[in-house]
Amino acid sequence: MQPDELGAVEALAQMRAGRLSATRLVEACLERIALREAQVQAWVAIDADGALARARAIDAAADWRGLLPGIPVGVKDVIETAGLPTAYGSPIYAGHRPKADAACIALLRAEGGIVLGKTVTAEFATTTPGATRNPWNPAHTPGGSSSGSAAAVADRMVPLACGTQTSGSVLRPAAFCGVVGFKPTCGWLSRQGVKQVSESLDTLGTFGRSVADAALMAAAMARQPGLALADPVAPPSVTVVRTEAAHEGGPEAWAALEAVVQALSRAGVVVDASELPAPCGELPRIHPLIEHFEAARALAHEHTWHADRLSAKLRDRLDHGLAQPAAEYRQAHALAQACRESVARWFDGHDVLLTPSAPGEAPEGLATTGSATFNRRWSLLGLPCLTLPVMRGPRSLPVGVQLVGRWHDEARLLATAAFIERLVGWRA
């Protein structure tokens, strides 16, 4: 296996055994980027010299410390990186170079991670796509807004990458690109130094080629080593939640979910079905009310002084947010809180939830990033979620499933995901 084909956990094992150096791993990733970037377009900036210098320093160190010593990572371009371009997917910030790292990147570097470069994002992590193509078929979207991060990991340009999610910007591109996407509980990872869209909804997340890889990066970004274990553990039960959006799921989405159900049943895990409490049917409706109201204020500078450099779609969204009555926003928040409280009581009877990650395979075309219909409710509830690739659909594109856990119960979610991965998962 070539170095660029290794996941992060595998690469660390090779380096500790003396069979691989950090320098060689970075070189292999750069070679892969040189070979494939023209087709995939996952990156907006590469720091080849800086990454190689850091790798050589790690190789020369007497002992390696941290969770990610020598592992190259991609960073979504809405997350600030000291000295590297951070344009937030907008021409307004072309050439912008922050003086400091975002908190999650500072922690990641302290754990030995090597920032290889910045990955493409949709405009301000919203809905207007960047240039990235799906590595499996360049005529199809990679999803978004964390398009470059998902595509770079899927195409073996880098073993790990980080992204953000407001609606479905980690879970959906992970499903479309056939990698693991992990979004912890909202607020679990510090958002300091991350371009804000929605104060209530924005959440950091990670991409890897395995559950263990995605967990390892999240552990490094939070400096919580215990999360990096992600040992497979069979859950007492798994609950299938189809949601009121079930009719939007394609045959391949339900086939992937059924494959997981059958594998769990054969393994002796109790699988049942349920639906969220009745008020939660309103979550998809109120999610954009909250997001647009907050985005109009978070992006007030850009909207006020640089509206001509925003996409028409984003301008319309911000105009809507400014025109929205404050009372409607407060009512949406009150309903969201009532839903969280009812779900907290409902969750007492359930361990881990199983639901689609996306309506199906990545749609053809690059004008949109696909539908977040199976993601919004979980983002608004703030629950930890994970996309696990399961199979290929009728167009030979990846199809995944989504696992949802209780608030701040990332360990159980990851252990269950690793167990299912061992049963039916596959790697990009």
**What are the tens digits of pLDDT across the range 351-381?**
999 999 999 999 999 999 999 999 999 999 9
Co-location of 20 and 147 in the same domain: yes
Co-location of 213 and 324 in the same domain: no
Domain boundary among 268, 301, 336: 336
Query: 149, 167, 169, 379: which is the annotated catalytic residue?
Result: 169
Is 342 assigned a catalytic role? no
AA identity, residue 163:
G
Domain boundary among 290, 310, 336: 336
Instruction: Look at residue 427 and tell me whether its pLDDT is greater than 80.
Output: no
Domain boundary among 336, 351, 377: 336
Cis link prior to 145 (omega < 30° from 0)?
A: yes
Instruction: Look at residue 145 and tell me whether its pLDDT is greater than 90.
Output: yes
pLDDT of residue 370: 97
pLDDT of residue 63: 73
Co-location of 108 and 175 in the same domain: yes
Q: For the segment 85-138, what is each residue's pLDDT rounded down to a tens digit?
A: 999 999 999 999 999 999 999 999 999 999 999 999 999 999 999 999 999 999
Taking the whole predicted model, whether its pTM rises above 0.95 is answered as yes
Co-location of 320 and 353 in the same domain: no
Instruction: Look at residue 256 and tell me whether its pLDDT is greater than 90.
Output: yes
Assign residue 342 the CATH number of its domain: 3.90.1300.10
Co-location of 324 and 357 in the same domain: no
pLDDT of residue 428: 62
pLDDT of residue 65: 82
Rounded to whole angstroms, the Cα distance separating 244 from 257 reads 16
Instruction: Look at residue 192 and tell me whether its pLDDT is greater than 90.
Output: yes
pLDDT of residue 85: 96
Is 169 assigned a catalytic role? yes
- Total domains in the fold of the chain: 2
Co-location of 224 and 209 in the same domain: yes
Instruction: Look at residue 191 and tell me whether its pLDDT is greater than 70.
Output: yes
Q: For the segment 42-79, what is each residue's pLDDT rounded down to a tens digit?
A: 999 999 999 999 999 999 996 778 999 999 999 999 99
Co-location of 327 and 423 in the same domain: no
Co-location of 161 and 310 in the same domain: no
215: containing domain:
1-277+338-428
Co-location of 302 and 345 in the same domain: no
Give per-residue burial for 301-328: e unless 16+ CB within 10 Å, then b. Answer: ebbeeeeeebbeebeebbeebeebeeee
Q: For the segment 296-325, what is each residue's pLDDT rounded down to a tens digit?
A: 999 999 999 999 999 999 999 999 999 999
Query: 90, 118, 145, 147: which is the annotated catalytic residue?
Result: 145
Instruction: Look at residue 180 and tell me whether its pLDDT is greater than 90.
Output: yes
Rounded to whole angstroms, the Cα distance separating 42 from 157 reads 9
Mean pLDDT value across the chain: 97
Q: Of all residues in the chain, what percent are helix, strand and coil, respectively (each to 5)?
A: 45, 15, 40
- Tell which residue, 50, 73, 79, 46, has the closest CA to residue 204: 79
- Tell which residue, 367, 372, 362, has the closest CA to residue 312: 367
Is 145 assigned a catalytic role? yes
Q: For the segment 266-304, what is each residue's pLDDT rounded down to a tens digit?
A: 999 999 999 999 999 999 999 999 999 999 999 999 999
Co-location of 309 and 342 in the same domain: no
Co-location of 292 and 390 in the same domain: no
- Tell which residue, 366, 353, 231, has the closest CA to residue 280: 353
Co-location of 87 and 165 in the same domain: yes
Q: Any idea how long the chain is?
A: 428
